Amino acid sequence: PPPHSPSHLPTAPRRRVYLDHNATTPLAPEAAQAVRDAMCQAWGNPSSSHPAGRKAKELIGSARESLARMVGGRPEDIVFTSGGTEANNMVIHTARRHFRESQARLGDSWGTPHIVTSSVEHDSIRLPLEQLVKESLAETTFVPVSPRSGRAEVDDVFAAIRPTTCLVSIMLANNETGVIMPVTELSQRVHALNQRRAAEGLPRILVHTDAAQMIGKGHVDVQELGVDYLTIVGHKFYGPRIGALYVRGPGTTTPLHPMLFGGGQERSFRPGGSLMEPVWVFFPQAAELVSKNWEAYEAHMRDVRDYLEARLEASFGKQRIHLNSHFTGSKRLCNTSNFSILGPGLQGRRVLSHCKMLLASVGAACHSEKGDRPSSILLSCGIPYDVAQNALRLSVGRDTTRADVDLVVQDLMQAVAQLDQDQAL
Catalytic residues: 366
Amino acid at 352: L
**Other residues' Cβ atoms within 10 Å of the Cβ of residue 368:** 12
Distance CA(112)–CA(233), nearest Å, equals 31
Distance CA(145)–CA(289), nearest Å, equals 33
**Strands 78-81 and 243-247, how do they pair?**
antiparallel
What SS3 state is found at 332?
Answer: strand
- Residue 379 C-beta-side C-alpha neighbours within 13 Å: 7
Distance CA(327)–CA(333), nearest Å, equals 12
* 363 neighbors 371 (Cβ within 8 angstroms): no
**Strands 206-210 and 165-169, how do they pair?**
parallel
For the chain, the distance separating the N- and C-terminal CA atoms, rounded to the nearest angstrom, is 37
What SS3 state is found at 414?
Answer: helix
Longest distance between any two alpha carbons in the chain, whole Å? 90
Sheet holding 206-210, edge to edge: 78-81, 243-247, 229-233, 206-210, 165-169, 114-118, 139-143
Dihedral angle of Cα 369, 375, 377, 383, to the nearest 10 degrees:
180
Among candidate residues 169, 174, 165, the one with its CA nearest the CA of residue 197: 165
Distance CA(106)–CA(133), nearest Å, equals 25
